[in-house]
Amino acid sequence: MDALMIVLVLAAVIVAAVAVVMTVRGNAGGNQTGEALERLSASQGELVGRLSQLSESQAAQQARLAEVMQSQEREIAKKLEERLAEVSRKVGESLEKTTTKNETTMTDLKTRLAVIDAAQKNITELSTQVVNLQDILSNKQARGAFGEIQLEDLVRAALPPNAYAFQATIGNGKRVDCLLTLPNPPGAIAVDAKFPLESYRNLRNANSDAEREIARRALGADVLKHVKDIAEKYIVPGETAESALMFLPSEAIYAELHANMQSVIEQSYRRRVWIVSPTTLMATLNTVRAVLKDAAMREQAHVIQAEVGSLLDDVDRLAKRVGNLETHFQHANKDIREIHISTEKIQRRGERIKEIEVGDDGEAAVEAEDLVAKLDVVPERGAAE
Protein backbone atom coordinates (compact mmCIF):
# COMPACT_ATOMS: atom_id res chain seq x y z
CA MET A 1 0.00 0.00 0.00
CA ASP A 2 2.80 2.42 0.79
CA ALA A 3 4.58 1.64 -2.49
CA LEU A 4 1.35 2.39 -4.44
CA MET A 5 0.99 5.79 -2.79
CA ILE A 6 4.57 6.61 -3.69
CA VAL A 7 3.86 5.72 -7.34
CA LEU A 8 0.75 7.94 -7.40
CA VAL A 9 2.62 10.82 -5.88
CA LEU A 10 5.41 10.45 -8.42
CA ALA A 11 2.85 10.33 -11.27
CA ALA A 12 1.16 13.49 -9.98
CA VAL A 13 4.54 15.21 -9.71
CA ILE A 14 5.37 14.19 -13.26
CA VAL A 15 2.00 15.44 -14.57
CA ALA A 16 2.45 18.71 -12.71
CA ALA A 17 5.92 19.11 -14.19
CA VAL A 18 4.62 18.41 -17.69
CA ALA A 19 1.79 20.92 -17.12
CA VAL A 20 4.29 23.56 -16.07
CA VAL A 21 6.42 22.86 -19.11
CA MET A 22 3.43 23.00 -21.40
CA THR A 23 2.26 26.24 -19.82
CA VAL A 24 5.62 27.79 -20.39
CA ARG A 25 5.57 26.67 -23.98
CA GLY A 26 1.93 27.72 -24.31
CA ASN A 27 2.84 31.20 -23.61
CA ALA A 28 5.09 30.88 -26.59
CA GLY A 29 2.99 28.58 -28.86
CA GLY A 30 -0.56 29.78 -28.53
CA ASN A 31 -3.46 27.50 -29.44
CA GLN A 32 -1.41 24.34 -30.01
CA THR A 33 -0.24 24.51 -26.49
CA GLY A 34 -3.80 24.68 -25.17
CA GLU A 35 -4.78 21.57 -27.09
CA ALA A 36 -1.77 19.76 -25.77
CA LEU A 37 -2.68 20.79 -22.28
CA GLU A 38 -6.20 19.51 -22.76
CA ARG A 39 -4.87 16.16 -23.99
CA LEU A 40 -2.43 16.07 -21.13
CA SER A 41 -5.19 16.83 -18.67
CA ALA A 42 -7.35 14.08 -20.13
CA SER A 43 -4.43 11.68 -19.98
CA GLN A 44 -3.82 12.78 -16.42
CA GLY A 45 -7.45 12.11 -15.50
CA GLU A 46 -7.32 8.76 -17.22
CA LEU A 47 -4.08 7.99 -15.41
CA VAL A 48 -5.58 9.04 -12.10
CA GLY A 49 -8.60 6.80 -12.74
CA ARG A 50 -6.44 3.86 -13.58
CA LEU A 51 -4.28 4.57 -10.60
CA SER A 52 -7.41 4.73 -8.45
CA GLN A 53 -8.66 1.40 -9.86
CA LEU A 54 -5.24 -0.08 -9.35
CA SER A 55 -5.24 1.24 -5.81
CA GLU A 56 -8.66 -0.20 -5.09
CA SER A 57 -7.70 -3.55 -6.64
CA GLN A 58 -4.50 -3.55 -4.65
CA ALA A 59 -6.44 -2.68 -1.50
CA ALA A 60 -8.92 -5.52 -2.16
CA GLN A 61 -6.09 -7.99 -2.77
CA GLN A 62 -4.34 -6.79 0.33
CA ALA A 63 -7.60 -7.20 2.29
CA ARG A 64 -8.05 -10.75 0.96
CA LEU A 65 -4.40 -11.47 1.64
CA ALA A 66 -4.78 -10.07 5.15
CA GLU A 67 -7.86 -12.22 5.71
CA VAL A 68 -6.07 -15.32 4.40
CA MET A 69 -3.05 -14.47 6.56
CA GLN A 70 -5.28 -14.04 9.62
CA SER A 71 -7.04 -17.36 8.91
CA GLN A 72 -3.72 -19.13 8.50
CA GLU A 73 -2.40 -17.37 11.56
CA ARG A 74 -5.43 -18.57 13.55
CA GLU A 75 -4.96 -22.16 12.27
CA ILE A 76 -1.25 -22.00 13.01
CA ALA A 77 -1.96 -20.60 16.47
CA LYS A 78 -4.55 -23.34 17.08
CA LYS A 79 -2.14 -26.05 15.93
CA LEU A 80 0.63 -24.49 17.98
CA GLU A 81 -1.65 -24.47 21.02
CA GLU A 82 -2.60 -28.12 20.42
CA ARG A 83 1.05 -29.07 19.89
CA LEU A 84 2.08 -27.10 22.96
CA ALA A 85 -0.69 -28.75 25.00
CA GLU A 86 0.41 -32.22 23.79
CA VAL A 87 4.04 -31.39 24.46
CA SER A 88 3.12 -30.01 27.88
CA ARG A 89 1.13 -33.17 28.66
CA LYS A 90 3.96 -35.45 27.55
CA VAL A 91 6.48 -33.34 29.40
CA GLY A 92 4.27 -33.49 32.50
CA GLU A 93 3.89 -37.25 32.26
CA SER A 94 7.61 -37.64 31.66
CA LEU A 95 8.37 -35.39 34.61
CA GLU A 96 5.92 -37.34 36.78
CA LYS A 97 7.49 -40.66 35.78
CA THR A 98 10.94 -39.23 36.26
CA THR A 99 9.94 -37.88 39.66
CA THR A 100 8.45 -41.22 40.72
CA LYS A 101 11.50 -43.07 39.47
CA ASN A 102 13.78 -40.61 41.21
CA GLU A 103 11.82 -40.98 44.43
CA THR A 104 12.07 -44.78 44.20
CA THR A 105 15.75 -44.52 43.40
CA MET A 106 16.30 -42.15 46.29
CA THR A 107 14.39 -44.46 48.63
CA ASP A 108 16.49 -47.43 47.51
CA LEU A 109 19.59 -45.30 47.79
CA LYS A 110 18.67 -44.26 51.32
CA THR A 111 18.02 -47.88 52.25
CA ARG A 112 21.33 -48.97 50.81
CA LEU A 113 23.10 -46.08 52.46
CA ALA A 114 21.52 -47.14 55.76
CA VAL A 115 22.76 -50.69 55.20
CA ILE A 116 26.18 -49.36 54.27
CA ASP A 117 26.20 -47.17 57.39
CA ALA A 118 25.30 -50.18 59.54
CA ALA A 119 27.98 -52.26 57.84
CA GLN A 120 30.46 -49.44 58.29
CA LYS A 121 29.61 -49.30 61.99
CA ASN A 122 30.05 -53.06 62.24
CA ILE A 123 33.37 -52.82 60.42
CA THR A 124 34.45 -50.03 62.74
CA GLU A 125 33.44 -52.05 65.78
CA LEU A 126 35.17 -55.13 64.35
CA SER A 127 38.31 -53.11 63.68
CA THR A 128 38.22 -51.87 67.26
CA GLN A 129 37.78 -55.42 68.50
CA VAL A 130 40.64 -56.63 66.32
CA VAL A 131 42.85 -53.88 67.67
CA ASN A 132 41.83 -54.80 71.20
CA LEU A 133 42.54 -58.45 70.44
CA GLN A 134 45.96 -57.53 69.09
CA ASP A 135 46.61 -55.54 72.26
CA ILE A 136 45.54 -58.53 74.32
CA LEU A 137 47.67 -60.97 72.36
CA SER A 138 50.71 -58.69 72.53
CA ASN A 139 50.69 -58.96 76.33
CA LYS A 140 51.85 -62.32 77.71
CA GLN A 141 49.64 -62.19 80.80
CA ALA A 142 46.60 -61.10 78.80
CA ARG A 143 47.35 -63.75 76.21
CA GLY A 144 47.55 -66.40 78.93
CA ALA A 145 44.22 -65.23 80.31
CA PHE A 146 42.75 -65.45 76.81
CA GLY A 147 43.85 -69.09 76.52
CA GLU A 148 42.51 -69.91 80.00
CA ILE A 149 39.12 -68.34 79.24
CA GLN A 150 38.85 -70.29 75.98
CA LEU A 151 39.80 -73.47 77.86
CA GLU A 152 37.15 -72.81 80.52
CA ASP A 153 34.47 -72.21 77.90
CA LEU A 154 35.21 -75.50 76.14
CA VAL A 155 35.32 -77.51 79.37
CA ARG A 156 32.10 -75.98 80.76
CA ALA A 157 30.32 -76.72 77.48
CA ALA A 158 31.36 -80.39 77.36
CA LEU A 159 31.47 -81.70 80.95
CA PRO A 160 29.23 -81.64 84.03
CA PRO A 161 30.30 -79.31 86.88
CA ASN A 162 31.51 -82.16 89.13
CA ALA A 163 33.96 -83.41 86.49
CA TYR A 164 36.46 -80.53 86.53
CA ALA A 165 38.10 -77.86 88.67
CA PHE A 166 39.78 -74.63 87.49
CA GLN A 167 42.98 -73.27 89.04
CA ALA A 168 43.17 -76.41 91.16
CA THR A 169 46.15 -77.01 93.47
CA ILE A 170 47.60 -80.53 93.32
CA GLY A 171 49.72 -82.41 95.86
CA ASN A 172 53.06 -80.84 94.94
CA GLY A 173 51.68 -77.36 95.53
CA LYS A 174 51.43 -76.45 91.84
CA ARG A 175 48.31 -74.80 90.47
CA VAL A 176 47.01 -76.07 87.16
CA ASP A 177 44.65 -74.20 84.83
CA CYS A 178 42.14 -77.09 84.73
CA LEU A 179 42.01 -80.49 86.42
CA LEU A 180 39.70 -83.14 84.95
CA THR A 181 38.56 -85.35 87.84
CA LEU A 182 38.36 -88.80 86.28
CA PRO A 183 38.18 -92.06 88.28
CA ASN A 184 41.11 -94.45 88.45
CA PRO A 185 42.19 -95.47 85.96
CA PRO A 186 43.32 -93.17 84.44
CA GLY A 187 42.89 -90.65 87.30
CA ALA A 188 42.82 -86.85 87.29
CA ILE A 189 44.17 -85.23 84.11
CA ALA A 190 45.84 -81.81 84.21
CA VAL A 191 45.21 -79.35 81.35
CA ASP A 192 47.46 -76.30 81.00
CA ALA A 193 46.96 -73.52 78.42
CA LYS A 194 50.01 -72.19 76.54
CA PHE A 195 50.20 -69.66 73.68
CA PRO A 196 53.67 -69.22 72.01
CA LEU A 197 52.48 -66.37 69.77
CA GLU A 198 55.74 -64.41 69.34
CA SER A 199 57.60 -67.38 67.88
CA TYR A 200 54.73 -68.17 65.55
CA ARG A 201 54.56 -64.54 64.36
CA ASN A 202 58.27 -64.56 63.65
CA LEU A 203 57.74 -67.71 61.59
CA ARG A 204 54.88 -66.13 59.63
CA ASN A 205 56.85 -62.90 59.01
CA ALA A 206 60.02 -64.65 57.82
CA ASN A 207 61.12 -63.49 54.36
CA SER A 208 63.54 -66.25 53.46
CA ASP A 209 63.97 -69.97 54.00
CA ALA A 210 66.85 -69.37 56.40
CA GLU A 211 64.81 -66.96 58.54
CA ARG A 212 61.87 -69.34 58.38
CA GLU A 213 64.00 -72.25 59.61
CA ILE A 214 65.40 -70.20 62.50
CA ALA A 215 61.90 -69.08 63.51
CA ARG A 216 60.60 -72.68 63.27
CA ARG A 217 63.37 -73.89 65.57
CA ALA A 218 62.58 -71.12 68.03
CA LEU A 219 58.88 -72.09 67.98
CA GLY A 220 59.79 -75.76 68.57
CA ALA A 221 62.04 -74.79 71.46
CA ASP A 222 59.26 -72.74 73.10
CA VAL A 223 56.76 -75.56 72.71
CA LEU A 224 59.19 -78.14 74.12
CA LYS A 225 59.91 -75.87 77.09
CA HIS A 226 56.18 -75.72 77.85
CA VAL A 227 55.93 -79.50 77.41
CA LYS A 228 58.80 -80.03 79.88
CA ASP A 229 57.23 -77.69 82.45
CA ILE A 230 53.88 -79.44 82.21
CA ALA A 231 55.45 -82.89 82.53
CA GLU A 232 57.44 -81.88 85.61
CA LYS A 233 54.72 -79.87 87.36
CA TYR A 234 51.39 -81.51 86.58
CA ILE A 235 52.13 -85.24 86.34
CA VAL A 236 52.21 -86.50 89.95
CA PRO A 237 52.46 -90.28 90.40
CA GLY A 238 49.67 -91.68 92.56
CA GLU A 239 47.61 -88.50 92.35
CA THR A 240 47.16 -87.61 88.70
CA ALA A 241 47.06 -89.61 85.50
CA GLU A 242 50.27 -90.65 83.80
CA SER A 243 49.72 -88.00 81.12
CA ALA A 244 48.67 -84.35 80.84
CA LEU A 245 47.24 -82.04 78.16
CA MET A 246 48.81 -78.89 76.73
CA PHE A 247 46.09 -76.65 75.27
CA LEU A 248 47.03 -74.41 72.32
CA PRO A 249 44.21 -71.87 71.71
CA SER A 250 45.25 -71.55 68.04
CA GLU A 251 44.46 -74.00 65.27
CA ALA A 252 47.17 -72.42 63.10
CA ILE A 253 50.00 -73.15 65.58
CA TYR A 254 48.65 -76.68 66.12
CA ALA A 255 48.58 -77.27 62.34
CA GLU A 256 52.12 -75.89 61.96
CA LEU A 257 53.43 -78.27 64.63
CA HIS A 258 51.84 -81.35 63.05
CA ALA A 259 52.72 -80.33 59.49
CA ASN A 260 56.34 -79.23 59.79
CA MET A 261 57.57 -80.08 63.31
CA GLN A 262 56.94 -83.78 63.79
CA SER A 263 59.97 -84.15 66.07
CA VAL A 264 58.38 -81.78 68.59
CA ILE A 265 55.19 -83.87 68.59
CA GLU A 266 57.18 -87.07 69.11
CA GLN A 267 59.10 -85.58 72.05
CA SER A 268 55.83 -84.47 73.64
CA TYR A 269 54.53 -88.04 73.27
CA ARG A 270 57.62 -89.38 75.03
CA ARG A 271 56.99 -87.01 77.93
CA ARG A 272 53.29 -88.06 77.93
CA VAL A 273 52.08 -84.55 77.25
CA TRP A 274 49.38 -84.48 74.57
CA ILE A 275 49.18 -81.21 72.61
CA VAL A 276 45.57 -80.31 71.77
CA SER A 277 43.85 -77.48 69.87
CA PRO A 278 40.29 -76.22 70.46
CA THR A 279 38.92 -78.80 68.02
CA THR A 280 40.89 -81.79 69.32
CA LEU A 281 40.28 -80.73 72.92
CA MET A 282 36.53 -80.85 72.30
CA ALA A 283 36.88 -84.39 70.94
CA THR A 284 38.98 -85.35 73.98
CA LEU A 285 36.40 -83.86 76.34
CA ASN A 286 33.63 -85.86 74.65
CA THR A 287 35.70 -89.01 75.28
CA VAL A 288 36.16 -87.98 78.91
CA ARG A 289 32.41 -87.49 79.23
CA ALA A 290 31.84 -91.03 77.89
CA VAL A 291 34.37 -92.39 80.42
CA LEU A 292 32.61 -90.56 83.26
CA LYS A 293 29.26 -91.90 82.12
CA ASP A 294 30.65 -95.46 82.02
CA ALA A 295 32.17 -95.06 85.49
CA ALA A 296 28.86 -93.79 86.85
CA MET A 297 27.13 -96.81 85.31
CA ARG A 298 29.63 -99.15 86.99
CA GLU A 299 29.12 -97.43 90.34
CA GLN A 300 25.39 -97.86 90.02
CA ALA A 301 25.59 -101.47 88.80
CA HIS A 302 24.58 -102.99 92.20
CA VAL A 303 21.66 -100.60 92.42
CA ILE A 304 20.60 -101.63 88.91
CA GLN A 305 20.91 -105.32 89.86
CA ALA A 306 18.78 -104.82 92.98
CA GLU A 307 16.16 -103.02 90.93
CA VAL A 308 16.21 -105.82 88.35
CA GLY A 309 15.70 -108.41 91.18
CA SER A 310 12.75 -106.43 92.51
CA LEU A 311 11.41 -106.23 88.99
CA LEU A 312 11.64 -110.02 88.62
CA ASP A 313 9.77 -110.52 91.96
CA ASP A 314 7.05 -108.22 90.69
CA VAL A 315 6.88 -110.25 87.47
CA ASP A 316 6.48 -113.51 89.50
CA ARG A 317 3.66 -112.03 91.57
CA LEU A 318 2.02 -110.82 88.40
CA ALA A 319 2.25 -114.33 86.90
CA LYS A 320 0.63 -115.88 90.00
CA ARG A 321 -2.18 -113.36 89.94
CA VAL A 322 -2.74 -113.99 86.26
CA GLY A 323 -2.96 -117.76 87.03
CA ASN A 324 -5.51 -117.13 89.77
CA LEU A 325 -7.51 -114.97 87.40
CA GLU A 326 -7.35 -117.73 84.77
CA THR A 327 -8.69 -120.27 87.35
CA HIS A 328 -11.58 -117.95 88.14
CA PHE A 329 -12.34 -117.67 84.44
CA GLN A 330 -12.34 -121.48 84.09
CA HIS A 331 -14.82 -121.85 86.99
CA ALA A 332 -17.01 -119.20 85.47
CA ASN A 333 -16.94 -120.94 82.08
CA LYS A 334 -17.90 -124.25 83.75
CA ASP A 335 -20.83 -122.61 85.54
CA ILE A 336 -21.96 -121.01 82.29
CA ARG A 337 -21.86 -124.40 80.47
CA GLU A 338 -23.94 -126.04 83.26
CA ILE A 339 -26.46 -123.19 83.06
CA HIS A 340 -26.75 -123.77 79.29
CA ILE A 341 -27.37 -127.50 79.90
CA SER A 342 -30.15 -126.81 82.43
CA THR A 343 -31.70 -124.26 80.07
CA GLU A 344 -31.77 -126.75 77.19
CA LYS A 345 -33.43 -129.44 79.39
CA ILE A 346 -36.09 -126.99 80.52
CA GLN A 347 -36.77 -126.03 76.91
CA ARG A 348 -37.12 -129.67 75.79
CA ARG A 349 -39.49 -130.50 78.67
CA GLY A 350 -41.57 -127.48 77.92
CA GLU A 351 -41.95 -128.54 74.28
CA ARG A 352 -42.93 -132.09 75.27
CA ILE A 353 -45.48 -130.80 77.78
CA LYS A 354 -47.00 -128.75 74.98
CA GLU A 355 -47.41 -131.94 72.91
CA ILE A 356 -49.59 -133.71 75.60
CA GLU A 357 -53.29 -133.85 74.55
CA VAL A 358 -55.64 -132.91 77.36
CA GLY A 359 -58.66 -135.39 77.71
CA ASP A 360 -60.31 -137.19 80.60
CA ASP A 361 -58.42 -137.12 83.84
CA GLY A 362 -57.67 -140.80 83.75
CA GLU A 363 -56.48 -140.74 80.18
CA ALA A 364 -54.42 -137.62 80.84
CA ALA A 365 -52.74 -139.27 83.79
CA VAL A 366 -52.03 -142.45 81.77
CA GLU A 367 -50.60 -140.39 78.92
CA ALA A 368 -48.49 -138.37 81.35
CA GLU A 369 -47.11 -141.53 82.91
CA ASP A 370 -46.38 -143.00 79.47
CA LEU A 371 -44.67 -139.77 78.44
CA VAL A 372 -42.57 -139.70 81.57
CA ALA A 373 -41.62 -143.31 81.02
CA LYS A 374 -40.68 -142.55 77.45
CA LEU A 375 -38.63 -139.53 78.44
CA ASP A 376 -36.97 -141.49 81.25
CA VAL A 377 -36.95 -138.31 83.31
CA VAL A 378 -34.65 -138.33 86.33
CA PRO A 379 -35.46 -135.84 89.11
CA GLU A 380 -33.00 -132.90 89.18
CA ARG A 381 -30.35 -132.86 91.83
CA GLY A 382 -28.81 -129.60 92.89
CA ALA A 383 -28.39 -126.39 90.98
CA ALA A 384 -25.94 -127.91 88.50
CA GLU A 385 -28.78 -129.75 86.61
Q: What angle do CA 65, 70, 73 make, to 5 degrees?
A: 120
Q: Is residue 326 part of a domain?
A: yes
Q: Is residue 70 part of a domain?
A: yes
pLDDT the model gives residue 101: 83
- Both 204 and 173 in a single domain? yes
- For residues 247 and 274, give the distance between their C-alpha atoms in angstroms, rounded to a whole number: 9
One digit per residue, the tens of pLDDT, for the chain of length 385 reads: 555 556 666 666 666 666 655 565 555 555 566 676 677 677 767 777 777 777 778 778 888 888 888 888 888 888 888 888 888 888 888 888 888 888 888 888 888 888 887 887 788 777 666 545 454 445 455 555 667 788 888 888 888 888 888 888 888 888 888 888 887 777 888 888 887 777 778 887 888 888 888 888 888 888 889 899 888 888 888 888 888 999 888 888 888 888 888 888 899 889 899 888 888 888 888 888 888 887 777 777 677 777 888 888 888 888 888 888 888 888 888 888 888 888 888 888 888 787 775 554 545 555 555 555 554 444 444 444 4
Q: Is residue 308 part of a domain?
A: no
- Both 36 and 156 in a single domain? no
- Residue type (1 letter), 379: P
- Both 171 and 241 in a single domain? yes
- Domain extent, residue 23, equals 2-105
Q: Is residue 235 part of a domain?
A: yes
pLDDT the model gives residue 335: 85
- Both 279 and 143 in a single domain? yes
Q: How long is the chain?
A: 385
- Both 48 and 168 in a single domain? no
The residues near 63 (Cβ < 8 Å, ≥ 6 apart) are none
Q: Is residue 311 part of a domain?
A: no
pLDDT the model gives residue 59: 78
Domains of the chain: total? 3
- Both 238 and 147 in a single domain? yes
- Both 18 and 153 in a single domain? no
Helices (H), the chain: 2-29, 31-138, 140-158, 197-204, 209-234, 251-260, 262-270, 278-299, 301-355, 361-375
Sign of CA dihedral 153, 158, 160, 165: negative
Task: Tell me which of 57, 86, 105 is where a domain ends.
Answer: 105
Q: Is residue 116 part of a domain?
A: no
- Both 149 and 292 in a single domain? yes
Q: In what order do the strands lie in the sheet with 189-193?
A: 164-169, 175-180, 189-193, 244-247, 273-276
Sign of CA dihedral 72, 78, 81, 83: negative
- Both 278 and 198 in a single domain? yes
- Both 154 and 66 in a single domain? no
Task: Tell me which of 254, 270, 299 is where a domain ends.
Answer: 299
Partnered with residue 188 across adjacent β-strands are 240
- Both 250 and 149 in a single domain? yes
- Both 260 and 145 in a single domain? yes
- For residues 127 and 120, give the distance between their C-alpha atoms in angstroms, rounded to a whole number: 10
Q: Is residue 146 part of a domain?
A: yes
pLDDT the model gives residue 203: 80
Task: Tell me which of 266, 299, 332 is where a domain ends.
Answer: 299
Q: Is residue 60 part of a domain?
A: yes
With contact defined as beta carbons under 8 Å apart, do 235 and 272 qualify?
A: yes
- Phi, psi at residue 304, to the nearest 5°? -65, -40
